[in-house]
Amino acid sequence: MSVKKNVWSHVQKCVILILCKNPSQGEYSRHRTLTEARKAANKRYIDKFVEVKVRMTPEHRTEVQQHAQEMGESTTAFINRAIDETMARDKKSKKK
């Protein structure tokens, strides 16, 4: 029984290594490679957005990340919501 178990364990390891081989880099990777279709879809998605760089101290970044997590949001979603709410408030106060 232990021989079968050892053989099966070896077979599993070989299968895992075969499935995880990244042929473009010639090494083993824990991540699967992306198909060309998936790469194209990712590019189309990313191309719909722009990135905005915001400078803050590491401590402030940690505060923002923690607050977003407490609110059940990603940091990006929280920052976008904060911007939207501030812009709406500014528009209201400008009308007065």
Structure confidence at residue 90 (pLDDT): 95
Integer CA distances (angstroms), 33 to 16, 19, 49, 57, 81, in order: 14, 10, 24, 36, 34
In a domain, 42, yes or no: no
In a domain, 91, yes or no: yes
Q: Label residue 95 by pLDDT band (50, 70, 90).
A: confident
pLDDT tens track for 22-78:
555 555 556 678 899 999 999 999 999 999 999 999 999 999 999 999 999 999 999
Number of domains in the chain: 1
Residue 29 Ramachandran class (φ > 0 left, ψ -120 to 50 alpha, else beta): beta
Structure confidence at residue 3 (pLDDT): 55
Q: Residue 81's closest CA among 72, 93, 56, 36?
A: 72
In a domain, 1, yes or no: no
Residue 79 has pLDDT above 70, yes or no: yes
Q: Label residue 87 by pLDDT band (50, 70, 90).
A: very high
In a domain, 41, yes or no: no
Q: Is 0.75 topped by the overall pTM?
A: no
- Domain residues for the domain of 72 are 50-96
In a domain, 67, yes or no: yes
Q: Are 63 and 57 in contact (CB under 8 A)?
A: no
